[in-house]
Amino acid sequence: MNNFLFELIGTAFLILFGNGVVANVVLTKTYGHNSGWIVITFGWAMAVFVGVYVAAAKSGAHLNPAVTIALAAADKFEWAMVPIQIAGQFAGAMTGSLLVWITYKKHFDETTDAGMIQAVFCTAPAIKNTLFNIASEIIGTFALVFGVFFITGADAGLRSLDALPVALLVLGIGLSLGGATGYAINPARDLGPRIMHFILPIKNKGGSGWDYSWIPVAGPVIGGLLAAMVFKML
């Protein structure tokens, strides 16, 4: 149960801080309103730092199904543990997004732009194009997972001391590669909160973008598997 529980806790912190910074920037009447992309990318890096630091000692702090699947494909994690790890990640992502909604409930009520409301929960492409959108997610996740392989070394997960380099890696991905699709690079991070966006009674919300929702799931998994393949060839 340690793996499930700490993947849940770590991913909940990841989403609480990550989607929390988006809420602070895009929702109406917050102190951080319109503070921009740099704030969002830095906030997400801190989200990764906290999530990894909290969960590393107990579950390896994958916090991302693409990382878990890639580690298993590279023979660095047991396939039998993959469903447990991923279940914790999705439960944590949904929990974290619920906490963000509670924190910013009054600001959600004041926001009339359905796109900005959805942006707090999940990603959407700046320019919609299936081929290039999925390519963006594949490339971003390849960069993440390939970097994680070298940070973890021979281990099956991250250690607390790895929190900072992984956070800096995610900061770099956000700043350099995040402008096309919002760099989901994590199926649980996108799909779990998207489900919560659909379920929660949010004033003025629109659709949950289900036509796009498969891309932030499939793209990261493909990118992670490609990173595992290349890593094993080295």
pLDDT in tens, 31-67: 999 999 999 999 999 999 999 999 999 999 999 999 9
Number of domains in the chain: 1
Determine the pLDDT at residue 154: 73
Q: Tell me the residue range of the domain where 16 lies.
A: 2-233
CATH number of the domain encompassing residue 215 = 1.20.1080.10
Average pLDDT (65-77) is 97
CB 14 within 8 A of CB 63: yes
Determine the pLDDT at residue 155: 77
* Nearest alpha-carbon partner for 93 in 13, 185, 148, 25: 13
Q: Is 90 exceeded by the pLDDT of residue 80?
A: yes
CB 187 within 8 A of CB 65: yes
Q: Is 80 exceeded by the pLDDT of residue 219?
A: yes
**Residue that is written with structure tokens 């704030």 in the block:** 39
Q: How much is the mean pLDDT over the chain?
A: 97
Per-residue model confidence as pLDDT tens digits over 138-181? 999 999 999 999 999 877 789 999 999 999 999 999 999 999 99
Average pLDDT (185-200) is 98
Determine the pLDDT at residue 153: 81
CB 109 within 8 A of CB 31: no
Determine the pLDDT at residue 1: 80
Average pLDDT (173-199) is 98
CB 58 within 8 A of CB 216: no
Determine the pLDDT at residue 37: 98
